Amino acid sequence: MDTLIITDVAPRDGLQNQPTFVPTEAKLELIRLLHAAGVPSIEACSFVSPKAVPQMADAAELMAAVGRRLPELRTSALVPNQKGLERAHAAGVREVAVVLSATETMNQKNINMDLARATAVCEDTLQAARALQLRTRAYVAVAFDCPFEGPTPLNTVLRLAIRMARAGADEIVIADTIGSASPGTVKTRFDALAGELPVATLAAHFHDTRGMAVANAWAAIQAGIRRLDASVGGIGGCPFAPGAAGNAATEDLVLMAEGSGLHTGISLSGLLKAVTFAQAQLGRELGGRSMAWLRRR
Ligand code: HMG
Ligand code: MG
């Protein structure tokens, strides 16, 4: 059976923008519930400036606890620079993700660097991570549209994805940061990327601002992509990208994939427990488009 690998980014993308601090123990419990549901890969946190993203200030404590309590789990952490990589490595992280935006303004807003500097910093960080024998992911953010500069040229996305691959990224994650993509564009862009890079190294990361995330995920699958990011309950969004709503909900993608003959290894009832827990923590209703139906089952 064809397999779809889902990375759940809820503990990082989902929690980074929450107004009230989620305690480390609760983050750990969310990760444990995702693991128990069969999620094969989890982006657990980010080692970024605590001034920029206070919600991720406990990344080192969290990863140390994950290493102790869930040693067999595949987790990763986002790192914006060498300092983040050093902190992640010291905390025992075995997989890191760098984030390069495809426009000048988005890099400035997100990591306070211009595009050339951000590209060089991501390349250096990837090379340093590989020297430490870590697995690596490289996000290419605003790969469809930028909230500040409008539509992103496909050639820029291709050029940056190729640079990240040459710097040693094991996985290139093409991200629809503000959830503005449509299935036709997704298919065209992933076909073009698959013409330049091994398709098995490509992943897709959708936000669901316009309700297109499941359709976009399906379009990526049609282009041969078998690695998707998602967030349980659909929580998420970049604090520095105005208009970014939650991520594609893990439960929606699992339902779509399993119903279409793709194996994910993820249990929907297990995800439901994770959503219920996250709701209690965040004090509001969560869930993807399928949630009302899932709860009635
Ligand atoms: P800066 O202020 O330009 O950095 O921030 P700096 O190098 O001048 O350092 C300033 C201070 O930060 C110094 O401390 C550094 O030591 C410290 P001070 O001397 O003032 O006490 N510092 C750090 N501390 C902890 N960890 C670090 C680190 N680096 C420097 N790694 C910086 C530049 C990149 C640090 C900052 O802008 C930052 O942390 N940005 C984080 C942005 C972020 O987390 N965005 C959200 C994630 S991206 C996303 O959501 C999109 C994605 O989901 C895909 C998609 O949907 O598109 C991935
Ligand atoms: Mg995101």
Strands 227-230, 5-8: pairing kind: parallel
* pLDDT greater than 90 at residue 163: yes
Q: How far is the CA of 223 from the centre of ligand 2 (A)?
A: 21
Angle (CA) 44-130-50 rounded to 5° is: 40
Reduce the DSSP state of residue 27 to 3 states and report it.
Answer: helix
Residues with CB under 6 Å of ligand 1 are: 13, 16, 46-49, 52-53, 78, 80-81, 83-84, 87, 99, 110-112, 139, 141, 175, 177, 205, 207, 238, 240
Q: Write down the mean pLDDT value for the chain.
A: 97
Assess contact for 1 and 263: CB atoms under 8 A: yes
Ligand with minimal distance to 137 CA? 1
Q: Which atom of ligand 1 is nearest to the CA of 244?
A: 56
- The average pLDDT across 182-199 equals 98
Q: Which atom of ligand 1 is nearest to the CA of 173?
A: 54
What sign has the CA pseudo-torsion 202, 207, 210, 214? positive
- The average pLDDT across 10-22 equals 95
* pLDDT greater than 80 at residue 1: no
Q: Give per-residue pLDDT as tens, 82-110.
A: 999 999 999 999 999 999 999 999 999 99
ipTM over 0.95: yes
Q: Which amino acid is at 35?
A: H
- To test the pocket of ligand 1, the residue of 48, 61, 189 to mutate (highest count of ligand atoms within 8 Å of its CB) is 48
Residue with CA at minimum distance from ligand 1 atom 46: 238
Question: What is the rounded distance in angstroms from the CA atom of residue 38 to the CA atom of residue 16?
Answer: 23
Question: What is the rounded distance in angstroms from the CA atom of residue 11 to the CA atom of residue 6?
Answer: 14
Give me the pLDDT at residue 26, please.
98
What sign has the CA pseudo-torsion 221, 226, 227, 232? positive
- The average pLDDT across 37-65 equals 98
Q: Which atom of ligand 1 is nearest to the CA of 53?
A: 44
Q: Tell me the backbone φ, ψ of residue 77, rounded to 5 degrees.
A: -140, 145
The span from the first CA to the last CA of the chain, in angstroms, equals: 26
* Predicted TM-score of the model (pTM): 0.98
Angle (CA) 44-140-65 rounded to 5° is: 10
Reduce the DSSP state of residue 94 to 3 states and report it.
Answer: coil
Indicate the pLDDT class of residue 297, thresholds 50, 70 and 90: confident
Q: Which amino acid is at 33?
A: L
Q: How far is the CA of 295 from the centre of ligand 1 (A)?
A: 38
Q: Give per-residue pLDDT as tens, 211-266.
A: 999 999 999 999 999 999 999 999 988 889 888 889 999 999 999 999 999 999 99
Give me the pLDDT at residue 239, please.
84
User: What are 172's two structure tokens?
Assistant: 């290139």
Ligand with minimal distance to 17 CA? 1
- Catalytic residue list: 238
Q: How far is the CA of 290 from the centre of ligand 2 (A)?
A: 20
Give me the pLDDT at residue 244, please.
83
- The average pLDDT across 193-213 equals 97
